[in-house]
Chain A
Amino acid sequence: GAVVSQHPSWVICKSGTSVKIECRSLDFQATTMFWYRQFPKQSLMLMATSNEGSKATYEQGVEKDKFLINHASLTLSTLTVTSAHPEDSSFYICSVPRDSFGEKLFFGSGTQLSVL
């Protein structure tokens, strides 16, 4: 069964609104979670590393004020896309390093965001 739960699976919103995506590690306490973005026919691109109890680490070119990450517990990380615009429309996926060394990533089912 799934070890990472991501919700919602799809969302449509108006330009200028904010959208929150949740990622839960179901049976593993994760101090670290990763957020990826995938545009059609392109690679999964790492956006940020979510760290439990501390600030997220963002990849170069990712706006931290636009993509707010909160990792409030060992099983939950949230990504909030603030003031969404059509160019933010994409497939967002979270992942959790599954074992103690973290080299095996398990992914959520993804969230398709469409901004009108």
Chain B
Amino acid sequence: QKEVEQDPGPLSVPEGAIVSLNCTYSNSAFQYFMWYRQYSRKGPELLMYTYSSGNKEDGRFTAQVDKSSKYISLFIRDSQPSDSATYLCAMSENYGGATNKLIFGTGTLLAVQP
């Protein structure tokens, strides 16, 4: 079993739809959870960062963490064609520095149709 599971998609939605992206994980020691957006052949771009359980909102993006279920989600409201990209979840046990080792999901390919 992989430490982090993510549905690779592709996920196709119409413009304006609410998008739900999810990851599950097996390591209960993960405390830091991140979502990255990656356009084709580019480096990932940090979208959201959360620590422990709860919700965090930033504009059209909302990140949720449920540590009891080992499940994290990213919601995108009013999706736009420019949101079309691969979304990677990532998580780590440690608090920073040289011990920071992110474990990534495989990414979900999202296509927002105009």
Contact = CB atoms under 8 A, between A and B. Distances in A.
Contacts of B8: 41
Interface string B23-43: 000000000101010000111
Given A101-B97, A102-B97, 4 more contacts: A43-B107, A103-B32, A109-B42, A109-B43
A107 to B, nearest CB: 3
Q: How large is the interface on B (under 10, 10 to 19, 20 to 34, 35 or more residues)?
A: 20 to 34
Contacts of A9: 41
7 contacts: A43-B88, A44-B44, A49-B98, A103-B92, A105-B46, A109-B43, A110-B42
A32 B106 contact: no
Contacts of A105: 34, 46, 100, 102
B96 A97 contact: yes
A76 interface: no
A34 B104 CA distance: 14
A97 B97 contact: yes
Interface residues on A, range: 20 to 34
A42 to B, nearest CB: 6
A10 B41 CA distance: 10
Nearest to B6: A43
Contacts of A104: 34, 46, 49
B101 interface: yes
A89 interface: no
B4 interface: yes
Contacts of A95: 43
B107 A112 contact: no
Contacts of A57: 98
Nearest to A101: B96
